[in-house]
Amino acid sequence: MKSTSTLFLADQWDADQYALLDSGDGQKWERFGSQTVIRPDPQAFWLPAQPVADWQADARFDAKAGDDERGNWQLLNPAAPEAWEMHWRGLRLNARRTPFRHLGLFQEHSVHWAFAQNQIKSAGRKIRLLNLFGYTGMMSLAAAQAGAEVTHLDASPKSNAYGKEHAEMSGLQDAPIRWIADDAMKFTAREIRRGNTYDAIVLDPPKFGRGTKNETWRFEEDLPGLLANVRTLLSDQPLFVILTAYAVRLSHIALAQALAGHLEGLGGKIEMGEMALPHVNDERLLPTSICARWRAT
């Protein structure tokens, strides 16, 4: 199986919908539609283009000591809404501030949404896609918009409810999307027993998580078993597999080799590397995560 290293650059956004305005001193300054926010980011340990004190924003996330994921939002603009609409290539969603510094979407994944759409449209046949750890549904909606039949799985019923909301906003309320709240390991094992298969599978597992019945997920311990299930669930005409990872002590090379080992014999090629966001006013990049992507052609 051939492999190549690449940079997965999320530059598919209209400038008025998402923009990385600046970063540095452990912070990033971003535009999400009508709102601008300041959030911590430990990767941004360089000097910002502008002093952080000069950044103007609607809200800032103040992280707890020793934990940049948890904390509280400080409203700098009293009129800032709790939720506001954004769009990407005709898909619509509501961004919202969450207690974990996120805003209801991972904007760097747009590089994979675009890839999935191109692959599905070029396949010339009906594609069944399984989206594991699907969060609020943008990958599921992108795939359905391109013509795929989608099974969206996330352990959080709230995230699935937001996904359904976004489907309706995007005019995809009648699209063939199954919204399932379940544990990924248990669900894939049941799908294997049922004899179901998929042409494309997307995985965005967290470093640590809990299932619907308090099942635990630990990336390094549980990923190999899940990848084994993924291999069994692939159809006899697989199209692609996308695997992303955040906040783990792994190289993209390790991630790619783990994926390649479970997909041995399928041919095709593996693309591996870092995902990154471009700044709007200079050539700097903000790395966000690592990923490995297998495609048949």
Distances 65 to 11, 40, 69, 281 between C-alpha atoms, Å: 32, 12, 10, 31
Residues 80 and 166 grouped into a single domain: no
pLDDT at 177: 98
**How many structural domains are present in the chain?**
2
**Nearest residue to 189 (alpha-carbon basis) of 220, 155, 228, 217:** 228
Residues 291 and 149 grouped into a single domain: yes
Q: What is the pLDDT of residues 109-156, one digit of tens each?
A: 999 999 999 999 999 999 999 999 999 999 999 999 999 999 999 999
Q: What is the pLDDT of residues 89-105, one digit of tens each?
A: 999 999 999 988 899 99
Q: Give the global pTM.
A: 0.95
Q: What is the pLDDT of residues 201-223, one digit of tens each?
A: 999 999 888 887 888 888 988 99
pLDDT at 63: 86
| DSSP state letter for 181 | E
Question: Is residue 118 included in any domain, yes or no?
Answer: yes
Using an 8 Å Cβ cutoff, are 272 and 257 in contact? no
| Non-local CB neighbours of 118 within 8 Å, separated by 6+ positions | none
pLDDT at 212: 78
Which is higher by pLDDT, 280 or 71? 280
Question: Is residue 134 included in any domain, yes or no?
Answer: yes
The answer on pLDDT for 66 being more than 80 is no
pLDDT at 198: 98
pLDDT at 126: 97
What CATH number is associated with residue 54? Answer: 2.60.40.1180
Question: Is residue 115 included in any domain, yes or no?
Answer: yes
Distances 263 to 118, 232, 245, 274 between C-alpha atoms, Å: 22, 10, 18, 21
pLDDT at 68: 63
Q: Can you read off the two tokens belonging to residue 51? A: 């002093």
Confidence tier at 255 by pLDDT (50, 70, 90): very high
Among 96, 129, 159, the domain boundary falls at 96
The answer on pLDDT for 252 being more than 80 is yes
Question: Is residue 152 included in any domain, yes or no?
Answer: yes
Per DSSP, the three-state class of 101 is: coil
Tell me the average pLDDT of the chain.
95
Residues 164 and 262 grouped into a single domain: yes
Residues 137 and 62 grouped into a single domain: no
Confidence tier at 29 by pLDDT (50, 70, 90): very high
Residues 26 and 66 grouped into a single domain: yes
Q: What is the extent of the structural domain holding 162?
A: 2-9+106-295
Length of the chain: 297
